[in-house]
Amino acid sequence: MAIAKQLGRNPRSIAQEIVDRAPLAELNANLDIGGPGFINVRLDDNFLATALSQSTPSQPVKRAERIVVDYSSPNIAKELHVGHLRSTVIGDALVRLFEYVGHTVIRQNHVGDWGTAFGKLIAYVNADQDSHDLTIGGIEKLYVAASREFETNPDFAQIARNEVIKLQQQDPDTLKTWELIVQASLEDVQHIYSELDISLQLSDVRGESSYNSGLPSIVHDLENAGLIVESEGAKCVFVNGFQRKDGSPLPMIVQKSDGGYLYHTTDLAALKHRTQELGADRIIYLTDSRQIHHFQILFAVGKRVGYISEDISTEHLVFGSVLNKDGEPFRTRSGDNVLLRELIEEGFERALDIVRSKSEHLTNGEQQQVARQVAVGAIKYADLSKNRTNDYRFDWDVMLSLDGNTAPYLQYAHARICSIFTRAKKDMSKFLEGEIELQHPSERSLALRLLRFAETLEQCLDERKPHYLCNYLYELTVHFMRFYENCPVLKANTPQLMNSRLRLCAKTAQVLRVGLENLGISLPLRM
Ligand code: ARG
């Protein structure tokens, strides 16, 4: 219809011309023109069946890129909370998906491990080395206590400020305590990652502190490019198009009058490292929308100073907020951030109740294992299945439901398929190839859905929006369930038909597994 408008012609006549000319003969498809000019294509059953029996879910991209993905990136010395959930979960799904289609991904966990907050912590820990719990969960309490001390005890506050200076001057004792805190904190973070099945490793951590020694050379680069303007003793970069509310030009401050560097400066150093050392073709950052402006100006300055050349793309991916089930900010009763550790624990308790009542045939140990997978799957899927840019409501009853667009629904369908093969004492992997016949309409619609996996993946990565894949997997499962209700598998009329249907089952399980595992969601074999 868009073409018709451009050409000023009747859309139906253009549709007719396309149908007449298109080389669709080998598809054996039935083509007709409907409505104001839609072309309906009805693929021939044999064509579909052959295409499906030859299909595999892997479709490598034509041009593989080196993609740096900066995600999760918490400020450490505070426990991971719900504010870190989306960057972590969406980032991890995207890196897995990018890798799956053949890109080289370099994960970067740009943790906030430097700055004034550490002064308080170091002073507090130094005051009494032994009595502190520098293990999981201990750091957060320490931070709260140190902040309280900072507010109420002027002597302590002075020591804390001093520690910041000593940290910048690389005082060995201060550095030692700092390292202790950072290490303990990172262990805590890694522990949560492994509970949540997040693929970030300790080796992916490249914290703000690691760029410290390179910061003077960043200012040098900017000076050499003639971009530095001194304003009230601070070194600033002005870029066209960035203004304050009152219309005056807004600078990016890269060095304060006291010589200190800023968040921007560190990010410029990280940018340089990623393009020049890591050889990135593409850099993706995931944070919430409060940092939109930071990244806009970062990319603009990065281009002017030559860190981002023409052929490198940079992108800041933002996401909506997590709300509670009444649509308010998701917080504890006392108004604190909900910790991911607590969220996982609550999810597990709830999932365990469900698994115990639904899956009595499993042993206690199996039930615990399944409950973990269900809880983590539910938390991640609830996030991933919503359009990334929208807010979403965190509601346990909805996300743990066995009915609807949820992880447990998909996990359950997958386990059901596995159980068909177990009952028949057949090896599912042997049914991924071989002839398929499509007799019943529900077999046909399942086949159509199965064949759309690759294009869904493409759309999902083109827009960096995992919800397309979630919606697809859900729809696939609905169609599988319909097929399963309508078409006896093990009791099919002929052995050929049984094998064909087992192949449809195996292919469905495979797509579910590839899809969910690349979203970071694991699948129990029995539920
Ligand atoms: N640590 C920052 C925060 O918690 C996020 C860092 C994002 N990545 C970056 N390169 N700036 O807000």
Ligand 1 atom nearest the C-alpha of 112 is 1
Residue-level pLDDT at 30? 80
**Residue 29 pLDDT class (50, 70, 90 cuts):** confident
Res 335: pLDDT: 87
pLDDT at 76: 87
Q: How far is the CA of 111 from the centre of ligand 1 (A)?
A: 7
**20-29, 208-217, 431-440: lowest mean pLDDT where?**
20-29
Interval 105-120: pLDDT, tens: 999 999 999 988 899 9
Distances from the Cα of 78 to the Cαs of 168, 189, 236, 285, 448, in angstroms?
21, 9, 31, 21, 48
* Model confidence at 137: pLDDT above 70: no
**CA-wise closest residue to 151 among 120, 183, 184, 106:** 120
CA–CA separation, 412 and 424 (whole Å): 19
pLDDT bin (cut points 50, 70, 90) of residue 5 is confident
Mean pLDDT of the region 304-320:
97
pLDDT at 526: 94
Hey, is 250 helix, strand or coil? strand
Strands 66-70 and 104-108, by their bridges, are parallel
106 three-class SS: strand
How far is the centre of ligand 1, averaged over its atoms, from the C-alpha of 263 (Å)? Answer: 9
Give the pLDDT mean for 7-24.
Answer: 82
The closest residue, in CA terms, to atom 5 on ligand 1 is 73
Checking if the pLDDT of 194 tops 90, the result is yes
With a Cβ cut-off of 6 Å, ligand 1 is lined by 70, 73-75, 110, 112, 267, 270, 285, 287
Q: How far is CA 103 from the centre of its chain?
A: 16
Say if CB 365 and CB 67 are below 8 A apart.
no
Structure confidence by residue, pLDDT tens digits, 337-358: 999 999 999 999 999 999 999 9
* 3-class SS string, 399-436: HCCCCCCCHHHHHHHHHHHHHHHHHCCCCHHHHCCCCC
CB atoms within 10 A of CB 315: 14
- Name the pairing type of β-strands 228-231 and 282-286: unpaired
Q: How far is the CA of 432 from the centre of ligand 1 (A)?
A: 43
Please give the pLDDT value at position 26: 67
Across the strands, what pairs with 282? 67, 313
Flag whether pLDDT at 139 surpasses 80: no
pLDDT-derived band at 168, boundaries 50, 70, 90: confident
Q: How far apart are CA 309 and CA 296, in angstroms?
A: 16
Pocket probe for ligand 1: among 85, 291, 307, 316, the residue whose CB has the most ligand atoms within 8 Å is: 291
Mean model confidence pLDDT for the chain: 93
Q: How many residues does the chain have?
A: 527
Percentage, residues of the chain above pLDDT 70: 98
Query: pLDDT confidence of 199, banded at 50, 70, 90?
Result: very high
pLDDT of residue 351: 98
- Residue of 129, 209, 183, 125 lying closest to 159 (CA atoms): 125
pLDDT attached to residue 20: 80
Q: What percent of the chain has pLDDT over 90?
A: 79
**CA of residue 109 to ligand 1 center, whole Å:** 9
Atom index in ligand 1 nearest the CA of residue 270 equals 10
Non-local (6+) Cβ contacts of 316 within 8 A are 285, 287, 291, 292, 295, 296, 299
- Residue 131 above 70 pLDDT? no
**Which pLDDT score is estimated for 34?**
87
Strand order through the sheet with 234-243:
228-231, 234-243, 249-255
Residue with the two structure tokens 């490019």: 225
Euclidean distance between CA atoms 118 and 222, whole angstroms: 29
Torsion of CA 410, 414, 420, 426, to 10 degrees: 170
pLDDT of residue 212: 94
The answer to whether residue 287 scores a pLDDT higher than 80 is: yes
Residue 439's CB is within 10 A of a number of other CB atoms, namely 15
- Closest atom of ligand 1 relative to the 287 alpha carbon: 7
Q: At residue 371, does pLDDT exceed 60?
A: yes
Give the tens place of pLDDT for each residue, 220-229: 999 999 999 9
| pLDDT of 75 strictly over 70 | yes
In this predicted structure, the answer to whether residue 23 has a pLDDT above a threshold of 80 is no
Cα gap 10→271, rounded to integer Å: 52
Note the pLDDT of residue 513.
Answer: 98
Angstrom distance (rounded) from CA 154 to CA 167: 20
DSSP helix/strand/coil, 262: coil
136 pLDDT band (50/70/90 cuts)? low
Residue range 245-269, pLDDT digits in tens? 899 999 999 999 989 899 999 999 9
215: which 2 tokens? 């910061």
Tell the residue nearest (CA) to atom 9 of ligand 1. Answer: 110
CA-to-CA distance for 76 and 79, rounded, in angstroms?
7
Ligand 1 midpoint to CA 79 (Å): 15
98 has a pLDDT exceeding 90: yes
Q: Tell me, what's the pLDDT at 59? A: 78
